[in-house]
């Protein structure tokens, strides 16, 4: 495949266009090709894109070069993906499956962050033959979102995005995703430069906020998502990763989510000092944690 994009923050991460049976989008790749190594398929959350996985993809390359093939697509209406309607989490799930098919990826460790945990779970439930394991990062609850899941003002951030107000979106996303005072929130390179690189993907999102209970968009998809009754039937190993200072999900909500999974399939790792985006805040530890989990499978 010919590389035609150079829009990455790390030299070790490359970005490629892909046209699937469902959409045109891009995916980021780092490490080996899927034919030569175990693959990891990263799924980003709302107000983001595959860019948010670049720090941990680069950490894999730095710490264990050649061990994994890492892939991270942009979901529909996010980043550089085609702006298509979002009609529930299944829209993202089927898109992810179509990207895997288009690049020839037969099976992978599936890692979903925040909203991206929804399609990650659905892939694991509906297509366990394509999933080596399931990792949920600060996840969308299996029973969908509730009032205490998104404490920040979605209407305000939606307005900022529609108006192209970069600074307003900056303030809200910093507060909701990352612990103040920690990388990449400081104002010195590379932290600030990386954050602005990540924030640009939020300003590209279409169909946001989508807050109507029966409407379209990210928020409606998360509100309507419910696979809680399927959690006890999971057939592959499950890892939950989250920060102990997550600004979106309470400890009580994490405990409620964790109790849904069978104990013999589930493990939890809590990152001290991290908020809602541990793969950005502590990418090296994140890569090592995944590697240790994968080695037990």
pLDDT for 189 beyond 80: no
Q: Which residues lie below 8 Å from residue 48, measured CB to CB, with a gap of 6+?
A: 78, 79, 113, 114, 198, 201, 202
pLDDT of 220 reads: 61
pLDDT of 185 reads: 43
Q: 86 or 201: whose pLDDT is higher?
A: 86
Q: Please report the DSSP string for the chain in residue order.
A: --------SSTT-EEEEEE-SS-EEEEEEEES-GGGSEEEEEE--TT--GGGGHHHHHHHHHHHTTSEEEEEEPPTTSTTS------SHHHHHHHHHHHHHHHT---EEEEEEGGGHHHHHHHHHH-GGGEEEEEEESPPPTT---TTT--S-HHHHHHHHHHT-HHHHHHHHHHHHS-TTSTTSSSSTTHHHHHHHHHHHHTT--S----STTS-SHHHHHHH---GGGGGG--S-EEEEEETT-SSS-HHHHHHHHTTS-TTTEEEEEETT--S-HHHHSHHHHHHHHHHHHTT-
pLDDT for 87 beyond 90: no
The rounded percent of the chain whose pLDDT value lies above 70 is 73
pLDDT band at 77 (very low <50, low <70, confident <90, very high): confident
Residue 6's alpha-carbon distances to 25, 60, 190, in angstroms, are 15, 20, 18
Q: 18-48, pLDDT tens digit by residue?
A: 999 999 999 999 999 888 899 999 999 987 8
pLDDT for 3 beyond 60: no
pLDDT for 120 beyond 90: yes
Domains of the chain by range and CATH? 14-294 (3.40.50.1820)
Q: Which residues of 219-234 are buried (b: 16+ CB within 10 A; e: fewer)?
A: bbbbbbbebeeebeeb
pLDDT of 35 reads: 87
For residues 5-10, give the mean pLDDT. Answer: 72
pLDDT band at 217 (very low <50, low <70, confident <90, very high): low
> Are the C-beta atoms of 52 and 279 separated by less than 8 Å?
yes
pLDDT of 188 reads: 37
């Amino acid at each position: 495949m010919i590389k035609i994009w150079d829009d990455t923050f790390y030299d070790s991460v490359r970005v490629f266009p892909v046209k699937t049976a469902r959409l045109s989008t891009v995916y980021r790749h780092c490490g080996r090709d899927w034919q030569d190594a175990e693959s990891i398929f990263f799924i980003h959350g709302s107000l983001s894109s595959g860019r948010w996985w670049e720090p941990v993809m680069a950490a894999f390359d730095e710490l264990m070069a050649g061990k994994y093939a890492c892939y991270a697509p942009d979901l529909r209406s996010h980043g550089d993906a085609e702006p298509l309607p979002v009609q529930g989490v299944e829209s993202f799930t089927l898109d992810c499956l179509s990207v895997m098919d288009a690049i020839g990826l037969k099976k992978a460790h599936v890692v979903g962050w925040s909203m991206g945990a929804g399609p990650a779970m659905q892939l694991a439930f509906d297509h366990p033959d394509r999933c080596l394991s399931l990792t949920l990062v600060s996840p969308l609850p299996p029973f969908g979102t509730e009032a205490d899941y998104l404490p920040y003002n979605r209407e305000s951030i939606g307005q900022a995005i529609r108006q192209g107000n970069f600074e307003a979106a900056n303030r809200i996303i910093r507060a909701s995703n990352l612990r103040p005072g920690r990388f990449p929130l400081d104002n010195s390179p590379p932290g600030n430069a990386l954050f602005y690189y990540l924030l640009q993907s939020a300003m590209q999102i279409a169909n946001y906020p989508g807050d109507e209970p029966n409407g379209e968009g990210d928020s409606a998809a998360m509100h309507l998502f419910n696979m809680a009754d399927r959690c006890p039937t999971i057939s592959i190993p499950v890892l939950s990763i989250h920060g102990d200072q997550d600004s979106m999900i309470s400890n009580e909500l994490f405990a409620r989510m964790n109790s849904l999974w069978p104990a013999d399939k589930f493990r939890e790792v809590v990152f001290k000092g991290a908020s809602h985006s541990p793969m950005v805040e502590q990418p090296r530890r994140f890569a090592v944690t995944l590697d240790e989990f994968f080695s037990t499978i």
